[in-house]
Amino acid sequence: MHILPVICFYLVESEQALSSEQHSKANPPSISYRDAGVDIEAGDALVEQIKPFAKRTMRPEVMGGIGGFGSLFAMPSKYKQPILVSGTDGVGTKLKLAFELNKHDTVGIDLVAMSVNDILVQGAEPLFFLDYFACGKLEVGVAAQVIKGIAQGCEQAGCALVGGETAEMPGMYPAGEYDLAGFAVGCVEKTAIIDGTQIQAGDVLLGLASSGAHSNGYSLVRKLISMSGIEMDADFHGRPFKDVVMAPTRIYVKPILQLLEKINIKGMAHITGGGITENVPRVLPAGLTAEVQASSWEMPPLFQWMQQVGNIAADEMYRTFNCGIGMVLIVSAEDADVAAKFLREQGETVWQIGKMRAQGVGEAPTVVV
């Protein structure tokens, strides 16, 4: 729970008197964990810094606080037949840009978003989140920025940051670098699980705008940045390019959970690695195709720029990036306008991007036309 391991060293004195030379050989200089590259005090300082961030994410079901060996969480009483839904993910090579830019305040939001948006797809309310922060040498200021971002992501998702692990492992990572992983647990009523089985021909696909490239495709993003030679501080449609490319992943949890209380959402797809064409089929029943109209929304400038710099084919764009659509909802045609209106009132940008239809022979389950 953000506590670094402690190793105790015990010295045993010999009963026999030793010469100074023998004594030196038999009793080498005392060393500490710090001498091996692990700073226990820095770990303790980090725990104290992050406690206020975690406190702001607390829910009534949380039992205990940061610092224990395990996190206790009571099942919310509102569920009659609670089904737990879990998800885990990282931030990927977007971290490389964070290191290059010395910008660590938003990748924590990315970390939370990737897991909570995933479990949301099945109708689950995120309950709690744990993180894993690993580095070669712990820089308390950097780690605190990262974990503060994690707490902000948890606040946006309405889930509690109940703990995590900070691992300082000398020699495992290059200087100034770290890795992140996260784990979310949510809950859904058994009768309300969204599994896509209700989807049928004529249903409508609603696309919710992304905030940028989110946390996917960054190996290609970084290659395109290198190819183009663009300066990270360069103006890009009124914003510094670095802010556009590092924009944190949008968290869709609260507006969609509210929408679920008003209409029946038949299916959802979180558009992550694999883009639109690879993620939408994950929720579709056999025999149906999602026909997506590319003209129904405008691809944001970042994606247009990447496509131009890399001369990337349209089908490669749609299977690599979200291209401006971070979440897809599938609803009945009768509910589409109500759903879109409500989501816009909650601050989302929403387009009707396509419809479900019968699948043709040999046809892919998602086509972008």
pTM of the complete model:
0.89
Domain end among 168, 192, 216: 192
**DSSP-derived secondary structure for 152-216:** HHHHHHT-EEEEEEEEE-TTSS-TT-EEEEEEEEEEEEGGG---STT--TT-EEEEEEPSSSTTS
Summary count for the chain: helices (H), strands (E): 12, 14
Q: For residue 239, what are its two tokens? A: 């914003």
Mean pLDDT taken over the chain: 90
In the chain, % of residues over pLDDT 90:
80
The strand pairing partners of 161, in sequence order, are: 129
Domain end among 160, 192, 224: 192
Contact status, residue 225 vs residue 86, Cβ threshold 8 Å: no
Residue 14 counted as domain residue:
no
Residue type, position 115, single letter: S
Domain that holds residue 293: 204-368
Instruction: Look at 30-44, 45-59, 282-296 and tell me which has the smallest mean pLDDT.
Output: 30-44
List Cβ neighbours of 2 (8 Å cut-off, separation of 6 or more). 43, 46, 47, 50, 66, 67, 133, 147, 163, 164, 165, 166
Strands lying side by side in the sheet with 288-292? 267-270, 325-331, 204-209, 350-358, 288-292, 366-368
Tens digit of each residue's pLDDT (9 = 90 or more) over 235-264? 999 999 999 999 999 999 999 999 999 999
| Same domain, yes or no: 231 and 317 | yes
| Same domain, yes or no: 359 and 288 | yes
Tens digit of each residue's pLDDT (9 = 90 or more) over 78-101? 999 999 999 999 999 999 999 999
Residue 26 counted as domain residue:
no
| Same domain, yes or no: 183 and 229 | no
Residue 50 counted as domain residue:
yes
What sign does the dihedral 276-281-283-284 (CA atoms) show? positive
User: What are phi and psi for residue 123, nearest 5 degrees?
Assistant: 90, 10
Contact status, residue 194 vs residue 121, Cβ threshold 8 Å: yes
| Same domain, yes or no: 221 and 103 | no
| Same domain, yes or no: 55 and 107 | yes
Residue 112 counted as domain residue:
yes
pLDDT grade for 69, boundaries at 50, 70 and 90? confident
Higher-confidence residue of 345 and 39: namely 345
Residue 254 counted as domain residue:
yes
- Into how many domains does the chain fold? 2
Q: For residue 223, what are its two tokens? A: 């290659």
| Same domain, yes or no: 262 and 352 | yes
User: What are phi and psi for residue 224, nearest 5 degrees?
Assistant: -70, -35
| Same domain, yes or no: 48 and 94 | yes
| Same domain, yes or no: 85 and 65 | yes
Tens digit of each residue's pLDDT (9 = 90 or more) over 196-236? 999 999 999 999 999 999 999 999 999 999 999 999 999 99
| Same domain, yes or no: 223 and 328 | yes
